[in-house]
Amino acid sequence: PSRTRPGPQPPIRATGRRRALLVGINYPGTSAELSGCVNDVLAIRGMLLSAGFPAEGITVLADPMHKCPGAAGPPTRANMLRGMQWLVAGAQAGDSLFFHYSGHGSQQPDRTGMESDGYNETICPSDFNSAGQIIDDELWTHLVSPLPSGARLTAIMDCCHRC
């Protein structure tokens, strides 16, 4: 049987509030140093502002902070989890939420047996060596699970396995 592709879809219109959490980590002064993650955050912030997101609805966590004027703080594990809670707090149908992460990712053994390959995917906060990585299950718990039906979350994860 032949398969047909659906025609162009109308753009999704946010009818509620718009909020975004943007995280860029260059890991300055470490052997894992990157150079473009904070630049990514600045570019995404500009795109969101031009798309109608209010400046006060965008929270940025960046390392180094001096390269990102207006950053709310460094992207530590605690700040990232707190930022995720802020992002989804009070979410309602029609809200448009946006999460962007640019930094290192990795894998850790899955001790629950849920992952078919035996590993959890992770993202690496700026203090991952002391505070730990954030596993995919935590991302689900903090970003997806709390959302009511009809709230939209877009997440862009720009990371590879390095930390």
Which amino acids are annotated catalytic?
A: 104, 160
CA 78, distance to chain mean position in Å, is 14
Return d(Cα 7, Cα 18) in angstroms, integer: 27
* Residue 48 in tokens: 């969101």
What amino acid occupies position 46?
Answer: G
Contact 27, 102 (CB under 8 A): no
Q: SS3 of 22, please? A: strand
Q: Where are the alpha helices (DSSP H) in 51-118?
A: 77-88
